[in-house]
Amino acid sequence: MSPAGDELLFAREPPLAYVTFNRPQARNALTWAMYEALHAACDAVDADPDLRVMILRGAGGRAFAAGTDITQFQAFRTAADGLAYERMLDGVIARVEAVRRPVIAAVAGVATGGGASLALACDLRYCTPESQFGIPIARTLGNCLSSANHALLVDLLGPARTKELIFRARLVGAEEARGIGLVNEVVPAGRLEDRVRAIALEIASHAPITLRVTKESLRRLARHRRAPDTDDLVGETYASEDFREGVAAFLAKRLPVFKDR
């Protein structure tokens, strides 16, 4: 039984596995239990020789995943709270990256915050024209990313675009995302599921060892560049008054007033 109940669905359709974020009423914002269930789904795919490709998607058509459920941050008070969260998120992202089979993100609607990071951790990304990607934390919560999460962005976008994405807290539309390499293809909404399935089946028909060792080789190259320790920066951010103000403002649906303390 999934620790997330019906909020994260895992379906086997050999040679494909589907993982669905299933909180459409909350734009599929991720709970701690959903992160745990995603980790377990990755384990299940690795343990099943009949599964050749894993597909991540969001229910409802409006969002892939709108980040972490903000209500869970209300109890955060110390640097340790933030460090524990970022390490958990890093662990889930790393687990998605390390799945022994190709992983595809089928993005319909927004992929923001932790949802964007999970989409970027996949090997391939396909989206609809309405899709948007971003990590708008500079105008919402006032939190930060781990060094591993920054590296994930830099690998795809480069330093300048990563800084612009975070500094301006803007969302990138589908065509721009394709142009800068965030997504592989933009597909009409009504065709996304069929298109991703067709690509997944094509990949599943190819030599599994070639796919596996290619993915692992590239993963090792990326991990080699992700060494910096930024615990001091993460701790400072999550223990700040500004972060608590960002969470309170988000939940109250008002603009935050940041004071740099």
CATH, residue 113: 3.90.226.10
The tally of domains found in the chain comes to 1
Listed residue (131, 140, 203, 213) closest to 172, CA to CA: 131
What is the reported pLDDT for 226?
A: 66
CA distances from 260 to 53, 236, 255 (A): 45, 11, 15
What is the reported pLDDT for 175?
A: 96
Instruction: Specify the pTM.
Output: 0.93
Q: Is residue 104 part of a domain?
A: yes
Q: Is residue 209 part of a domain?
A: no
- The letter for the amino acid at 238 is Y
Q: Is residue 32 part of a domain?
A: yes
Q: Is residue 238 part of a domain?
A: no
Return d(Cα 34, Cα 20) in angstroms, integer: 10
Q: Is residue 240 part of a domain?
A: no
Q: Is residue 143 part of a domain?
A: yes
- Give the SS3 label for residue 175: helix
Quick one: angle between helices 79-98 and 231-238, nearest 10? 120
What are the per-10-residue average pLDDT scores of the chain (261 residues)?
Answer: 79 98 96 96 98 98 94 90 92 96 97 96 98 95 91 92 95 96 95 98 98 95 75 91 92 93 89
Which range marks the domain in which residue 109 is found? 5-204
What is the reported pLDDT for 227?
A: 62
What is the reported pLDDT for 199?
A: 98
